[in-house]
Each structure stands twice: as structure tokens, then as C-alpha cells.
Amino acid sequence: MRKKIVAGNWKMNLNKDEAEALTTALVLELGAQPSGNQRVLICPPSVHLSGALALVGAGGRLEVGAQNMHQAESGAYTGELSGGMLASYGVGSVLIGHSERRAYFHEDNALLKEKVDAALGHGIEVVYCFGELLEERQSDTHFAVVATQLKDALFHLSADQWSSVVLAYEPVWAIGTGVTASPEQAQEMHAFIRQTVATHYGDHCAQNVSILYGGSVKPDNAAELFGKPDVDGGLIGGASLKVDDFMAIVNAAG
């Protein structure tokens, strides 16, 4: 059975004290709750990764992931982090392909394919982010865009490797805008994504991959979004920076 996952992407937010306070509060909140079929993940800025891992400790409910990594093993890439570096600290997951990386740092599907391979090569789970622009939805090309983003970066993988892949559909027009895809729009796209995976890898693989929704998820809309059969949780931005809001979303995912 695929997991329900709530992942918090902190983006470029919080200083050292704020990051420690938020992580500590989440550890305390989650420690009193049964995990069931659910995972909870935070992705802080890289400068906070070591501190977060220490606060979470081994075997706790809260997991720590990275926001990005470089595709090379090592070299003259000032400011970058390799998969080997992340793995050596015990980072278990990494976001790859977030729309902000695509837009601001010009990361395309070919580069993201290299990053996917580098992460999996170090035993790091890939949370692969993808989604269409507003003009692509308005021009009715959103399904084709999403299919291409999946195929170009992921469809060279073996079926076994998909056990270390989580999909995060994020319509770009809904990220940080306050506009959220309706539960019906989210379900329609998630069902399409699952069918696209099934067409290439078979139904077993498709039914076991978790597909998260990202884009202005809040405590007041999370339950309805997560209640759809193909929505397996969320990748949360701004609301992940507030303990009460994030925990309300975690609880909505059940």
C-alpha cells in the first residue's frame, strides 16, 4: 500500500534559531501520534540540514530531506552539494525539479534526469516535482506537458527503482499565489499521472507510487484535496513554516 506523505519545503526561509525551534516543535507534536500509513518530511535549506538531522534523531517520525543537489559526484561547482555529501549526513530524500529551480536556475528535463540518477545512485529517495504553467493549462496542453516532464526525467528507470521515487505534481499557477487547483482538477491530473506511469510500467508500479499535490495547500483545503483517491498527500510551502498549520495539514492526511 502506498504511503500518505506530507512534505514541508521551507525554501529560503528561517534563521538558525527559527529552524531549530520549528524542528523541535514538530518532533514533539509527532512523537505523540501514531504513524499509521503516513510519512512526514521536512526539507530545510542546506545550512540547516545537519542541525535538523540531529534534532530528529534516529527512528523518529519526522524525516529530513534536501531541497536540491548537484548531478556531479564532486568537482569545481562552488556552492553546490553532491548526492554523496547528502548521503554521508543521513539525508534520505531530495526534491528534484521544483518549479522554482526550473524557472530561476533553468533546470530542464535532461538535467533533472541526471540528478535523479545521481540521487538514486546514493540511495536517496527522489521527490520529483513537475507541473504546468498557467498558459499551458489555458491552452489545454497541460496533460502533454506533464507527460513529457515525467517521461524525459524518469521513464529510463527500472520498475524496481520506482520504489525510491515520490511524485509531486505542482501546477505552477498555484504555487505561492493563493490559488489552489480544485480537488476535482487535482484528482483529474493525479489520475492521469498514475495512468501514464501504468502505461509504461504496469499497474502494480503505478498503484504503489505516492503522488503528492503542491500549490497553496492550507489547513482549510487539505482534507478535501487529500480525500481524493489519487492524491496521496502534499508538498507544502508557506504553511510548513508554522507548526499549527503544518500539523493541521498532517492530520488532514491521516
CA distance 130 to 40: 20
8 A C-beta contact, residue 62 and residue 27 = yes
Q: Is 170 a catalytic residue?
A: yes
98 has catalytic annotation:
yes
Name the catalytic one among 29, 100, 125, 170: 170
The single residue listed with the C-alpha cell 526534491 is: 95
Pick the catalytic residue from 48, 70, 98, 142.
98
3-state helix, strand, coil in the chain (%, to 5): 50, 15, 35
**Beta-carbon-side half-sphere exposure of residue 187 (alpha carbons within 13 Å):** 9
Rg (CA), the chain: 17
Residue 78 to residues 70, 72, 75, Cα–Cα distance (Å): 11, 12, 8
CB atoms within 10 A of CB 192: 16
209/233 Cα distance (integer angstroms): 12
Spatial distance between the Cα atoms of 197 and 27, rounded to a whole number of angstroms: 34
Cα distance between residue 64 and residue 56, in whole Å: 8
Helices vs strands, H then E, count in the chain: 11, 8
The total number of residues written for the chain in this structure:
254
Catalytic residue numbers, as ranges? 98, 170
